[in-house]
Amino acid sequence: MKKFITILLTTALLLALTACGRVSQEEHDRLQQEIDELRGQIGVNDSSAQTTTTPVATDKPIVTEKTIQVGEWTYFIETVEGAEEEEQDYPFPYPYPALFRSSKDNEKVKISVGGCWGFDVANDSLYYLDGLKGDQDHCSLYIIPPDSKEKIKLESELHSFQIVDNQYIYFSYRHTTVGVGNDGFALHRMNLDGTERIIAAYSAYSPVSVDYDRVYVGFKGFEIRDNYVVYRSSYSIEESGENFEYRMELGSPATGLERVESIGYGNGNEWIVYNSNHYIIRARKDGSEQIILDDMSDLESYYWTISKIEDGWIYYDNQNRGNYKILADGTGQRVTEEYKTTSSIRLTATASSNWLYTGDAVFSNDSVRMMSRSAESTFTFSMNSTQFTDNAKLRVYYNSDVGRYATIYVNGQGYFDLSFPNTDWVWGSYIEIEISVKKGNNEIKVCWSDLSAWSPDFNKFELLY
């Protein structure tokens, strides 16, 4: 649930318990501390400009968190209350960060329309993100030049930005489907006026495996340090409670072969394997040596991902454009993955027009998402089998930002509460379930699971035997 909704609900709980005298002082203090910590997590970008912080007022809910002086104007973030105009799941007001400005002679004026998820100053110009109120999402990056009150939009559909050396803006898009080819999987750079845009770094990825550390360099929550981009993965190692952390050298422009260093927890293996741009790479964890295992640029496809590393092999594919494997030790050549696909469906606009949707299951960006937590949200389609068998496998491709669940029915047989681990919004991961199929059309029905807030996004199904 959105952290701002959490603030509202926690506050309501505290007030209700206090009013009826059913909370101890210790529990009261704990809840109040939780509210204060959540308020403190409302993010803004670090700035080299001089800032001041105002203490939280105890007699009103508005909190001033950061201020920057630009000429006669003072810009600052305050927590206010409101709701998204088209919010269906939760139409009630909740706290969100808003950008204001004021001068000695004028009252404060609200600048951002939605949530302001970061602002900074360079050359006396103000740069800020204006997006959704409840989440750091669908943000536009604006600039207000010196001695001007008019804003200019530099880019849309962003997640984060950072100004470096008072010269460049580094920024990331909100989702991997934005941009052509690898663009949505990359860190971008442009001049302060929005010109001369390049890709400064490509994402790096490999899944969990027994022999190698998981690698993920993404660009939500990135930080530029000393010509490297630093990213801390949201994936935690359960045994240690630590996060992987990586840094990647910036390119000008990037190729995908920039140095990657693991600077967090690991399993002891000095090597890592990962894909970046159209390369499969084996490298030492300290970045001192790099071996290109495969260069897929000759296959004329735009985004590759490693689906699994197993028994010494790296398996990788490109959204139904090819399934390949190569030895992780670098001694082998690319070979086609050996399995028979009897029926494969990738969600496309044409294919989805024949599918049956109920509830809030929707088709968008070549994938299906269930928009609400309701048993009525389903989608149904058919897959054709050339024979009857009890030993078929249904391979389900998906992505998600956290671990989620879904239930799948095959010809009425239910496979309940299937687990879909976190993929950090990277396509290519899948789960497999053993199923029975009949010769001819087989009905596949995907449903929301009550173990999960929402289901993952789905974009391809394969029937294998």
Task: Give the model's pLDDT for residue 232.
Answer: 60
Same domain, 220 and 324: yes
Domain boundary among 311, 338, 365: 338
Q: Is residue 230 part of a domain?
A: yes
Same domain, 324 and 346: no
Q: Is residue 160 part of a domain?
A: no
User: Dihedral, CA atoms, 258, 262, 267, 273, nearest 10 degrees?
Assistant: -10
**57-61, 269-273, 314-318, 368-372, range with the lowest pLDDT:** 57-61
In this structure, are residues 201 and 219 in contact, taking their beta carbons and an 8 Å threshold?
A: yes
In this structure, are residues 108 and 100 in contact, taking their beta carbons and an 8 Å threshold?
A: yes
In this structure, are residues 248 and 228 in contact, taking their beta carbons and an 8 Å threshold?
A: yes
Q: 194-225: per-residue pLDDT in tens?
A: 999 999 998 888 877 888 887 877 777 788 98
Q: Is residue 322 part of a domain?
A: yes
Q: Is residue 445 part of a domain?
A: yes
Same domain, 334 and 208: yes
Same domain, 330 and 208: yes
Same domain, 264 and 327: yes
Domain boundary among 271, 303, 338: 338
Which letter does DSSP use for residue 128 in this model? E
- Closest by CA position to 372, among listed 300, 431, 450: 450
Tokens of 62: 């508005």
Same domain, 394 and 322: no
Q: Is residue 251 part of a domain?
A: yes
> In sequence order, which ranges of 174-249 are alpha helices (DSSP H)?
none
Q: Is residue 285 part of a domain?
A: yes
Domain boundary among 338, 355, 372: 338
* Region 79-107 average pLDDT: 75
Residues β-bridged to residue 110: 100
How many domains are contained in the chain?
A: 2
Q: Is residue 452 part of a domain?
A: yes
- Cα 128 to chain centroid distance, Å, stands at 20
Which domain, by its residues, includes 374?
342-464
Q: 396-428: per-residue pLDDT in tens?
A: 888 887 888 888 999 888 888 888 888 877 777
**The model scores a pTM over 0.75:** no
Looking up residue 367, the CATH number of its domain turns out to be 2.60.120.260
